[in-house]
Structure formats: C-alpha cells, structure tokens
Amino acid sequence: MVRKGGVTHDPPPVEAGKKYVYRCIMGGTMDGGVRDTPGPCPKCGMMLDEHYRVPAEEVVARTIWVCDMHPQEVFDAAGQCFKEACAGMALEPRTIEPGSKLVFVCPDHPEVKADAPGNCPKDGKKPHFKIESAAVQLKDAWSCSTHPAEAGAAKAHCETCGKEMKHFEYEQLLSVPYSAVIDSGLRKVVFVDRGHGTFDSVEVQVGPRAGEYYQVLRGLAAGDRVVIAGAFLLDAEARLNPAAGAQFFGASGQEANK
C-alpha cells in the first residue's frame, strides 16, 4: 500500500493455516469490496494486491451449527444433534460476524477460556461455545442473589450474609461520536487512523443514535482510532481521487469509545 511520501510498505505477514482475502479500503467491506484473490475491486476497480490482504475472519461472516440443549458441541455443517436426549433435533445456525470470534468457556469457571474445545483444567468439564462480538463485549461479574448491591469483578462470598455470589454477564457496547460518521444515504463510513499519517475509509453498520454517539454494530473494534473532526474533507478527497484513498494527512482522531 502506498503511504506518505510515496513509500511502499511491506505487505502484512501471512500466518500458516489462516484464510485471507483482499479488501478494498474504498469499496467497503459489507457490500462487495472484497475478493478471494488479487485483482480489481468489484466496487470501484482499484487494483488489490498483497498490500490489501487481511484475514478472512475480519470481513467474511462464518456460519456454525449448534444445539441449544448441548452448547458444548459445535458443527461446521447442518445436521441433527447426535445426543440421545434430543432425539435427532435439527441443529440451529449461528452466524459469526466479521470481527467476532468463536470461543469456548467453562460454564462454572468463566475465566477459563479457549479458542478450541477441550476440557476445563479446573473441573474437567467440557466448555460451552460463545460468540464474542467486536461490537459487544461481555464482562463477567458476581453478585449476591439476596443482596444484589454486594457485587464484584471476581468470585467471592457476600460480606453481608456469607453466601457465595452468583456469576452473571453484562454487555459493553462499542460506539463512536456522531461527528465521525459520514452518511452518504447508501452507506455509512468512518475514517480509521492506521498510523504514519494514513487513514482508511471503513464502512460501518450503526445502531440507534444516543445523544452524540452511534452504537457500532459492525466495521470497527474497540481501540480503533477514528477521525472525529474533518472526516467530510477526507471523504470529499477520496471521491475526487479514489487512488489516493490511503494518503490522507493532518486529521485528528480518537479511540472508538466503549
């Protein structure tokens, strides 16, 4: 990818066993600006080479098949649950959106988390699957069922009654300032600071506006730095000169808020 001053940086490294696609920074990630092989962007025609290579899991949705009665089992294709208690119940599809991740968590020890199925090292139980979203982060907490005001971020006993506190999860939602979102009527775009004076246009899917913020459903991850002032100037320049879409300088940015 051409950067500031015309310097070409090395393409991102490739990890063995991981699938990659080629994503256009101008053509969007949710409406066709992605190729399986190098070549012209199907949306804007810009040539995509190894500098535009990204892990497929970041931009391509994946479907898994599960049984609600047996969350410890995950399948890659449709079928029926093999457990006798389900009597051949059909598996249900679950979509892992781009940026989300499939993990396995022990039902009794939520701090035990793995990328692949196995057994909990603490009690030997099989972990349950969970889809972690880049837009919604689940946080663990513990609270006393008798005294809900007694709560904490780790497993403990209630200081009032001495009972063991129960585990629960709560959501943290990803959001960006209203001023960061460019709405063309057909899609919404933000500009993400990639460093070295370079900004990428990223298509996002947003939820309802809450005050001065939009909830982000797809397109960003926690920690992404987005342009909050002057984004419309970058958008105008990108429309006038798509080939220069990765050469923007001087805008201000801040991290996407959680």
Q: Rounding to the nearest 10 degrees, give the CA dihedral for residues 247, 248, 253, 256.
A: -50
- Element of type H or E holding 179: none
Asked if the model's pLDDT at residue 93 lies above 90, the reply is yes
- Stretch 48-55: mean pLDDT, rounded? 84
171 or 243: which carries more pLDDT confidence? Answer: 171
Query: Across-strand partners of 176?
Result: 214
Asked if the model's pLDDT at residue 256 lies above 80, the reply is no
Asked if the model's pLDDT at residue 189 lies above 70, the reply is yes
Percent of the chain scored above 90 by pLDDT? Answer: 9
Asked if the model's pLDDT at residue 245 lies above 60, the reply is no
Sequence ranges of the domains in the chain: 4-60+174-255, 62-173
Digit-coded pLDDT (tens) for 204-214: 888 888 888 88
Those residues with Cβ within 8 angstroms of residue 161's Cβ, 6 or more apart along the chain or in another chain: 144, 146, 147
Q: Give the highest mean pLDDT range of 2-16, 153-167, 226-240.
A: 153-167
Digit-coded pLDDT (tens) for 102-131: 889 888 887 788 888 889 998 898 999 988
- Stretch 217-243: mean pLDDT, rounded? 65
Using DSSP, state whether 180 is helix, strand or coil: helix
pLDDT class of 215 with cuts at 50, 70, 90: confident
Class of domain 4-60+174-255: mainly beta
Asked if the model's pLDDT at residue 141 lies above 90, the reply is no
CA 128 – CA 132 distance, rounded (Å) = 13
**pLDDT score for 78:** 92
The token pair that represents 159 in the structure block: 């200081």
